[in-house]
Chains A and B, each alone.
Chain A
C-alpha cells in the first residue's frame, strides 16, 4: 500500500498525466482489438454457427493450456516446452483408465499432469535450475516414457464416458464453458489469493521476494502444479473430442499457449500479467485463424501469422519497456 501512495505525492507533469490516462500499450491493444472485431464482423460467414463452434472448440483446448502457462510465465520462468507432451500423456492416462470408471480416470489424469509439473517446479524452485532446459528434459522424458508404455499407439476411451463434454448448454459447447470456468478459477487464484500475489512477486524480483520471506520454492512449485492442473483439463477435453488418447495429441499446444499469453500482453520476463489477458490473447489468435480460413487463406498462412503475431507481441513489449 505504501509503495502505491508514493508516486501520488509527487507532482505529475501534464504529459505524464496524459499517458497515465491512456497508456500506449492500452491504446495499441484497444486499437488492435477494435480492428480485429471489425474484420471479424465484415468477414462473410464468421458469425455462422459452424464457424463459431469451431472457433470456440479451438480456443477451448489451447485456452486451458494458456491459463496454465500464465502461471509459469508470471512466476518468472518464461514458458514450459513440456505442456504439450503433458497434454498428450494425460490424454493417454485418461483413455487407459476410462474403462474403470470416469471418476477414477479423471482423478488419475489430473493427478498425473499435476505430478509431472510439480516435479519440474520443484527442480526449478529448489535449485533455481534453468526452466527452459528442465522443461525440454521433461518433454523428452515424458515422450520417451509414454512411447515405451504405449508403443506409440492410440488408446481409445471407453464408449460414452465423455459424451457429456461434447454436448451444449444453452447453445454453448461444454468445452467453451469449461474454458470460461478455468479462466475464472485461474484469474481468481492469480489475482485474489496470497499465493497469486507471491507468484507475481517471485516473478518480478526473485531476490526481493525471498528477502521478504516468501518461500520461493513453494510458490514456484505450486505455480507449476496449477499449470499441470489446467493442462489436464485441456487433455480431458482432447480425449473427449477424439474419444482417444495419444502422445501426439498435445503437439504444438505449448507454442500456441505461449503465443496466447504473449499476445495477451503478459510480460515474458515475469511478474506482470493475468489469466484474463491470456484468454484474450488466445481468443484473438483463434479469431485470426478463423478469419484467415474464411477469407480463403490456406492453413500454412495461419502458421505464419501466429509466428508474426508472437514476434510483434514480443517487439511491442520491448518497445514499451525501452
Chain B
C-alpha cells in the first residue's frame, strides 16, 4: 500500500504510468483494426519529441527552482533565425552562434532577475518580446531559407528506424539533465533553491549563481530546439515555425511539475512530452481534427491549474469532501 502511495504520489512516476496506459490504449485500439500506429508513427512521435522536448526541459529546469521562463517561443524563433542566417556557408557556425545567443540571452535574464530581485515572469516577458523583435530585425520580417539541403537531409535521416539526429540529441539532453539533477551537487543545489531559497542560502548554496546558471541552460535548450528545427526544415521565420509555448507548459505540468512548488523533474518532463507527442500522432492517425488535440491540451492545463490551486483543499473541506488539514479557517 505504501509503495503504491509513494509511486502515485510522485509526479514523475505518475507521468510514466499515464504514458504506459496511453500506449496500451492505443496499442489495444490498433489491435481492434483502428489504425492508430501507422507506418512511421514511432518516428513521428520522436520527431515531435525532438522539437518540444528540449523546450519543455528548459522550462522544467526553471520551474525546478520555482521560477518560470516564458521567453521560450522568442528564443526558439531567434535561435532558428540566427542559425539559418549565419549558417548559410557553414551550418556548424550557425548552430554555434545560435547556442551562444541562447546562453547569453538566458544568462542575462537570470542576472537581471537576481540583481534587481524581480519576478521571472515580467523579466522573461520582456525577454520574449525582445527576442522576437531581434528575430524580426535579423530576417527583415521574412522567412529565410537555408540553401544547403544536405543539412535537412542529415537532420531527417532515420537512424535505427525511429530515431533521427535531432531526437537522439533530445534524448541525450534529457539523460544529462536527469543525471545532473539526481546525482550531482549542482542538481542538489537546484532542488534546494526550488524547495526553500532562504534555507538554501543559509545552508551555503549560491542560489544566485544557480538561478543565473539555470536560465542560461534554459536559454540554451530553447536555442538548440529552435536551431535544429530550422535546420530540419531548411527555413526560419521570425514569427516562429511552431507554437512551442503551450505544448511545453502542458508537457512540464503533465510530467508532474507544480507551478507553485519546485517539483519539476527532467524524467517526468520527458514522460509528459512523450504523452503529448503520442496523443498528437494517435489523434492524427484516427483522423481527428488538430483542434481536438488543442482542446485536450487546454483541458489538461486547466485541470492541473485548478488541482494545484492552494485554496482547492479549503473549498473541498468546506463542502465536506476532504479531510485535509489545510482546510482550516480561511
Contacts and interface: CB of A to CB of B under 8 A. Distances in A.
B126 interface: yes
B245 A130 contact: no
Contacts of A321: 116-117
A300 B136 contact: yes
Contact of A310 (B129, B253, B330): B129
A304 B259 contact: no
B131 A307 contact: yes
A24 interface: no
B249 interface: yes
B122 A127 contact: no
A234 interface: no
Contacts of A210: 330
A17 interface: no
B306 A318 contact: no
A25 interface: no
Contacts of A312: 126
Interface residues of B, number: 53
Interface in A109-153: 123, 126-130, 132-134, 136-141, 143-145, 147-148
A322 B238 CA distance: 35
Nearest to A79: B125
Contacts, number: 159
B75 interface: no
Interface string A290-322: 000000001111011111101111110111011
Contacts of B298: 137-141, 144
B138 to A, nearest CB: 8
Nearest to A148: B291
Which interface residue of B140, B141, B294 has the most chain A CB atoms within 10 A?
Answer: B294
A130 B260 contact: yes
Contacts of B122: 78, 262, 268, 314, 317
Contact of A307 (B119, B133, B295): B133
A269 interface: yes
B19 to A, nearest CB: 21
Interface of B: 68, 70, 112, 116-119, 121-123, 125-134, 136-137, 139-141, 238, 245-246, 249, 253, 259-260, 289, 291-292, 294-295, 297-302, 304-306, 308-312, 315, 330
